[in-house]
Structure 1
Amino acid sequence: MGSRLDEIKEELEKLDINPTIFARKEIRALPDILSADEKIVYLVEGRNKVNNHHIILAATDRRLIFVDKEFMYGLTVQDYSYTKISSIQYETAVMLASIDIQVTDDIVEIDGVGRYHAELFCEKVRDFMSRPKESFHKAEPTSLDELEQLGRLKESGILSEEEFNEQKKKIMDKL
């Protein structure tokens, strides 16, 4: 069971990413969020500008995933297809940077990211953004995949029945 988590931790080590203790909860949720053969390309942690929660942002070979595991209250996972991202940029302050991602009509903002990591992260994401759309078609998560993932999150106790039903309704509404 823990082997997928170990794989993820190894992937991060190879990428020279050492998450802090603050990102532990989010990292632990990753095995339930990622598809079996999905690879992490880069990962940054920082603060969600909206609610000041500590979050992680993972770029995989298929999509961008925003993970916020709130203390006690469950999990917020948002994922964005690279084909829907219109821009990603970072701004640096003295030691830290903020990343702004424009997705369709939404802006995802994260700050408190290490400068070097923010720069690398943006480079990796831009690399995927510049790829032809066809390379993602097979990887676009289908509603069925999303429902499966929700089921796993509920089974492992990450999502409550209520959260599960709420997310399930959102997916069903898209169909």
Structure 2
Amino acid sequence: MSEKSRLDEIREELKKLDISPTIFARKEIHELPDILSADEKIVYLVEGRNKINNHHIILVATDRRLIFVDKEFMYGLKVEDFSYSKISSIQYETAFLLASIDIQVTDDVVEIDGVGKYHAELFCEKVREFMSRPEEHIQSKSEPSVLDQLEQLGRLKESGVLNEEEFLEQKKKLMGKL
């Protein structure tokens, strides 16, 4: 898939999620085709300002990880991603129209401000959903390999779930896939 069509696909995902990034997020959005895996889906996205350097950034929650993207004209591209299992807490604090988000990742706190109040709340909810899931549900949902399936068959036979004849029949089917 070309980079252009992947970018169009990402824009469609954002549209379906009712997310309308501002013109300030354009540089970061254009980097997403190179950052996201081909089958990685965006769950939610917010934009704001990094409290440390005051750069405009986006935070992207996907079905696999949380990604911080900072694309500045003079400073290049900075991408940090974190497994949901490494995030110990996420919270937001609202002011009049805007909010800030604090994310505790291992021994570090990432702070973003200037986030829309409504979007900050939704973003935190989405991230919390993934934080509460077991690790195996967050990882890639690809099909198990034939070897994995053969190992599973062996365990089923050993535990008595499958008899020898059933085991050999299933093994033959799997070996035919090779």
Please give the TM-score of this superposition, normalised by the length of structure 1: 0.77
2:129 alignment partner, SS class: helix
CA shift for structure 1 position 134: 2.0
1:47-83 deviation digits (Å, cap 9, x = unpaired): 0000000000000000000000011331000000000
One-letter identity of the residue aligned with 2:97 = M
CA shift for structure 1 position 137: 4.3
Which region of structure 1 is more displaced relative to structure 2, 130-139 or 73-82?
A: 130-139
Percent of residue pairs bearing the same amino acid type: 83
Which residue of structure 1 lines up, in the alignment, with residue 127 of structure 2?
125
One-letter identity of the residue aligned with 1:55 = I
1:4 alignment partner, SS class: helix
RMSD of the alignment, in Å?
1.0
Give the Cα separation in 2 of the matches to 1:3 and 1:41: 19
Runs of 4+ deviating beyond 6 Å: none
One-letter identity of the residue aligned with 1:130 = S
Which residue of structure 2 lines up, in the alignment, with residue 147 of structure 1?
none
CA shift for structure 1 position 92: 0.1
Q: 1:113 aligned to 108, 112, 115, which one? A: 115
Give the Cα separation in 2 of the matches to 1:137 and 1:95: 35
Which region of structure 1 is more displaced relative to structure 2, 129-138 or 16-25?
A: 129-138
Q: Does 1:51 align with 2:34?
A: no
Q: Radius of gyration: which is bigger?
A: 2
Q: What aligned pairs does 1:70-149 form with structure 2 within 5 A after superposition?
A: 70-138=72-140
Unpaired segments of 5 or more residues in structure 2?
A: 142-178
Which residue of structure 2 lines up, in the alignment, with residue 165 of structure 1?
none
1:1-37 deviation digits (Å, cap 9, x = unpaired): 2000000000000000000000000000000000000
Q: Does 1:22 align with 2:36?
A: no
Unpaired segments of 5 or more residues in structure 1?
A: 140-175
Give the Cα separation in 2 of the matches to 1:75 and 1:69: 4
Aligned length: 139
Which one has more relative contact order, counting CA pairs under 8 Å at least 6 apart? Answer: 1
Please give the TM-score of this superposition, normalised by the length of structure 2: 0.76
